[in-house]
A and B are shown apart, each in its own frame.
Chain A
Amino acid sequence: MVKNEKIAGFIGKKTLRLASLLVLVCFASFMLIQYSPIDPVRAYIGEMPVTPEHKAQLEEYWGVNTPPQEKFLNWAGDIIKGDFGTSLIYRMPVINVIKERFTASLVLMGISWLFAGFLGFVLGIVAGAKQGTWVDKAIKIYCYALAAAPTFWLALVFLMIFSVYLGWFPIGLSVPIGVTADNVTFFDWVQRLILPALTLSLLDVAKIAMFTREKLIEVLSSDYVLFAKARGEKGMDVVLRHGIRNVALPAITLQFLGFSELFGGTVLVEQVFSYPGIGQAAVAAGLRSDVPLLLGIVIFSALFVFFGNLIADIIYEFVDPRIKQQEASI
């Protein structure tokens, strides 16, 4: 009974939170763009020659002369209906662009996320278990250096090594705008995926490895590990029996909390490798003042981050028995 009430309360709280967050994000980013010097009509016209009548028509369409509040309500109303407007640079509905691009990015981010999580966890466990030895030091240096490395630079270095020097992958990975994923063969797809995924995951490894290391060291100096040692458990036994068990959940939680950084990383990596994902679209939208697309991406990325945090919260509240223990002792 109590459990069901808790779940209902949790769902209620999170739904409310999501709704208020979306309203806020929409409002704040809309107003930010509204008062910026961007002229949507100019952005739309670009280099095209237009007649004054056509221009007036466009101004009408973009609501240049409507007051901001009304414009926001119109826009928000459309969004609730699922209409995010039309992308200026791709000349198609924003929602379609996002659907296609986000799918591509999700594949990239998903692979990197899993790989980084696994590798980072293993490295962290090894470093923590061998604390103070040269293995630990090597892993620590590796992590520090990776955490300090600019994402796009690492991407460039990989491009230079694997594409230019070794020639394993094509340099111009880009697909011209307008060519959809359907026209690309599976092999092309995989070939375009490997380097970006590798770059993205290597950067992510550092954070999760350092965290796992710290947590493991914490666990290894806990009372229960002390007791396990007092009972004759040794070295690797302790790490395998108690370490991994107690570090896994916090590490997984951290991975879910990292969605925001993962997204930032993917923007840079996609740019270097010309990977046709949401990050590249965001940069293009920003550089070429494609306001509807940019706002759409902002909303969806906020949803993405929210989703990651939500899973982390679920693990925290419902899966980890230690939380119940703390609640009981209060």
Chain B
Amino acid sequence: MSTAVVTVNRGLFRGLNLRQKTLLIIGSTSLLLLAIVISSVFLEGESLQTDFGSKNLAPSLEHPFGTDWMGRDMFIRTLEGLGLSILVGGFASTISTVLTVILGLLSSAGRSADAFVSWLVDLFLSIPHLLLIILISIGMGGGATGVIIGVALTHWPSLTRVVRAEIKQLKTQEYIHISRNLGRSKWWIATKHILPHLVPQILLGTILMFPHAILHEASVTFLGFGLSPHEPAIGIILSESMRYLSAGYWWLAFFPGLSLLIVVLAFDIIGENLGKLMNPKNAHE
């Protein structure tokens, strides 16, 4: 008696069922992010163009986000900054995911390896995250590299915890016992049986890691670590804007920060909706 039923949604997505609606949200949000990255690549360097004839202009049609004290267009600077943020976030999430996979497989190898992994997770979670990034980035010699390494090396613990728990649960499954009794090696079981089950989880975890990585990168940059002042990073733009706050140039801080918020939100939305697609148990709520 299984029949597909189309329920009509009210509001914005009139006439679409939940599946179509979810896919539409994922698609349009991804498109927005892609557009930001592509345009930032094409705009490379544009943001450095100064025009002292149009300094400190409030937002207008010509300059939607206004201009700064050197007459640079804030919209272009923001776009470039967002592109940089997404790229750094992507890089950091990828590295952290690779670390998660390695440590996850390691933890499935045996009791002592698992103890080592959980010990490492605890160590990384014992220091406030932001402080840990600062510490690592200084340890790596500071600068942009330091910050990127710091962000990349610190986002794996929570996903690793999830993956470890999942592996523990998988290992109690019948077919893994059978495989073991058939004399399969630990490595064979880990890559053939355990890894495929974890792939969707890990992918989702990576996407949900993005926003954290982006926000941390921006925060550390804002504090003055890492990226050099002429890089068009959101953190730099906002920390510069602080000097002009009392002059009332509110647009210098407002729009770039809001744009960052939207990008972060976009990743959250994609992650959440993908999660719904994969695990629809509570979708009718």
Contact = CB atoms under 8 A, between A and B. Distances in A.
A210 to B, nearest CB: 11
- Interface range on chain B: under 10, 10 to 19, 20 to 34, or 35 or more? 35 or more
Interface in B191-242: 211, 215, 218-219, 222-225, 234, 238, 241-242
B151 to A, nearest CB: 13
A194 interface: no
A159 B245 contact: yes
Interface stretch (B118-126, B162-170, B176-184): B118-126
15 contacts: A32-B138, A132-B285, A144-B268, A145-B261, A150-B218, A153-B238, A153-B253, A153-B261, A157-B254, A157-B257, A164-B248, A263-B128, A263-B131, A286-B135, A287-B224
A294 B129 contact: no
Contact of B130 (A263, A272, A287): A263
A217 interface: yes
A38 B146 CA distance: 13
Interface residues of A, number: 53
A24 B250 contact: no
Interface stretch (A69-77, A245-253, A300-308): A300-308
A193 B51 CA distance: 40
B34 interface: no
Interface string A133-159: 000000000001101111111101101
B127 interface: yes
Contacts of B257: 149-150, 153-154, 156-157
| Secondary structure class of chain B's binding surface, majority of residues | helix
B141 interface: yes
Given A132-B285, A144-B265, A159-B245, A21 B122 contact: yes
Contacts of A159: 245
Interface string A272-307: 100000000011001101000010011001101110
Q: Which of B127, B254, B265 has the most CB of A within 10 A?
A: B127
A297 to B, nearest CB: 7
Contacts of B241: 156
B69 to A, nearest CB: 17
B57 interface: no
B140 interface: yes
Given A160-B253, A160-B254, A286-B225, A260 B128 contact: yes
Interface string B38-77: 0000000000000000000000000000000000000000
Given A148-B215, A152-B219, A264-B130, 4 more contacts: A28-B123, A132-B285, A259-B128, A263-B128
Interface string B238-260: 10011001101010011011101
Contact of A32 (B123, B139, B285): B139
A305 B265 CA distance: 28
A79 interface: no
A306 B222 contact: no
A267 B140 CA distance: 21
Given A164-B248, A286-B138, A268 B285 contact: no
Contacts of B138: 32-33, 36, 38, 286, 289, 294
A24 B123 contact: yes
A217 B250 CA distance: 41
